Structure 1
């Protein structure tokens, strides 16, 4: 779990802070030499997670101690304890947030990650990974505690209270109207996508809009979906190759997913 108020850092970020290579940091297991450094990752997870604030304090103390030939005396900032709505949880930790009677099996929960009938909400944060075609791949997904609880509050299932969840035959409510600022960001994203689809990335969009990279990725993803829907209306026989060419995508799976989602959305209208 990444507690609210902590800036998460992985091994690569830790190595950068200490001015060493990633291989050196991992081979020497430098984190074990820092008294009081707390690992935030769940046991068994593939990626170590640290508090960036603790790492910086440790690096400063090591540099001071080395300069005066002393043993480092670590006094690291504490990691917040307790639970907070904005704590970031990985996929398995998110399942444990639910009341026991509402939990499904871990295999089912993992299926919800990319499910079609029951699907988890969009991730709130990605740690690590690389950017490919404007999307982060290979990173670890995290959800805010409150995001999962809000999602579960509207999900019928085992242990549901009578009347809980959507009633049979109920219709979708009209979406909330966008604020002028939100609409302006969406319009700007679509404009940039139309002007240079191949060159637009979440990172460049975040800088242009002055928003968090995670939010920029969402805006870019939504704009791509909207564009494919528009193309599909004009060209009902739109192909995956067409989508790749129009959006400058190199990964076939990404283009196919966009086309499938656009097709479903068009059919439901």
Structure 2
């Protein structure tokens, strides 16, 4: 699964980032040398998938370490985990598991839906590693679907013996987002409070200790709170700059601040 908020990368992209051939990347298994690098692909899948953000951070650290003749000290950005998001990207087999158990078909039937005539899956939301053919169609690579895409498709798929038209109309959307549990909302509110009080000093580790949750979960809450804060700032100050975001959130990495600003801008444009 590719969690929402992560830019996926395959072996070719990884090799390009580290300025080596894809053959050398694979032969040396360089990914195993990067402490903390997380593989996103499902066990048994044919393609390794990485977080591009983690790869870029690892490459910068390796270049730094080489320049001063010391071993790399990897401090990679965390990969969100532990919570499901509607925009998580799932491969063909993972997308089947999203369905309620009583709505699942066999894997072979599901694969048949990929290019079926009577029952057919929706078009993939993303392709990793493919290339455009002469006709403009994507050739090769691996297809992924957003979690919500599959759930919406299933809402419109008749069950055994059902009449045509069961479920919501094609293209319909949830009228309101799923409601958080009181505990989840309390954690989000507390994260935002701590961020407003001391943005520069708040880390995933300190937040995890405050909330009593796993650090990975805390990192995800912190990331969401930062995005919300930048969106709120952008509403008040449309001229908000990357430097402003760095200063408000105590961020040292320009790329992280730029990504937050870009995502906040897109979120406001979609409202």
TM-score (norm 2): 0.59
Q: Which residue of 1 aligns with 2:149?
A: 147
Whole-Å separation in 2 of the counterparts to 1:93 and 1:25 = 27
Task: Tell me by how many angstroms 1:165 deviates.
Answer: 5.6
Deviation string, structure 1 residues 43-96 (Cα, Å, up to 9, x no partner): 111110000000000000011111111111100000011210000000000000
Aligned 8 A contact 1:154 1:165 in 2:
no
For structure 2, the 5+ residue unaligned runs are 173-271
C-alpha contact 1:91 1:110 (8 A) present in aligned 2: yes
- CA distance in 1 between partners of 2:170 and 2:13 (Å): 43
How far the C-alpha of 1:130 sits from its partner, in A, is 2.2
- Are residue 126 (structure 1) and residue 127 (structure 2) matched? yes
Decide whether aligned partners of structure 1 residues 63 and 102 sit closer, same or farther in structure 2, where only a CA change above 3 A counts. Answer: same
**What is aligned with 1:156?**
158
Partner of 1:135: 137
> What SS does the corresponding residue of 1:42 show, helix, strand or coil?
coil
1:75 alignment counterpart: 75
- Tell me, in whole angstroms, the C-alpha distance in 2 between the residues paired with 1:44 and 1:58: 25
Change (3 A) 1:2 1:164: farther
Secondary structure, in 3 states, of the residue corresponding to 2:80?
Answer: coil
Task: Give the distance between the partners of 1:63 and 1:165, measured in 2 at CA.
Answer: 60
Supply the distance in 2 between the matched residues of 1:74 and 1:120 (Cα, whole angstroms). Answer: 41
Residues 66 and 164 of structure 1, relative CA distance in 2, 3 Å threshold:
farther
| 8 Å Cα contact 1:88-1:143 kept in structure 2 | yes
Find out whether 1:56 has 2:56 as its counterpart.
yes
Tell me the residue number matched to 2:101: 100
What are the superposed Cα offsets for residues 192-228 of structure 1, whole Å, 9 maximum, x if unpaired?
Answer: xxxxxxxxxxxxxxxxxxxxxxxxxxxxxxxxxxxxx
Cα distance 1:103–1:8, how it changes in 2: closer, same or farther (>3 A)?
Answer: same
Structure 1 residues 66, 145: closer, same or farther in 2, change over 3 A? Answer: same
* Structure 1 equivalent of residue 14 of structure 2: 14
| Normalised TM-score (structure 1) | 0.60
> Aligned equivalents of 1:86 and 1:175: distance in 2?
16
- SS at 2:132's partner residue? strand
* Structure number, greater radius of gyration: 1
Kept in 2: contact 1:154–1:164 (CA 8 A): no
CA drift of 1:164 comes to 7.5
Say whether residues 1:91 and 2:92 are aligned partners.
yes
Quick one: structure 1 residues 132 and 157, their matched pair in 2 at CA, closer, same or farther if it must change by over 3 Å?
same
1:145 Cα deviation (Å)?
0.2
Task: Tell me the distance in 1 between the aligned counterparts of 2:98 and 2:91.
Answer: 11
Tell me the CA shift for residue 20 of structure 1: 0.4
- State the alpha-carbon separation in 1 of the partners of residues 27 and 122 from structure 2: 37
Tell me how far 1:35 sits from its aligned partner.
Answer: 0.4
* Structure 2 contact 156–170 (Cα < 8 Å) conserved: no
RMSD (Å), alpha carbons: 2.0
Q: Label 1:113 to 1:87 Cα distance change in 2 as closer, same or farther (>3 A).
A: same
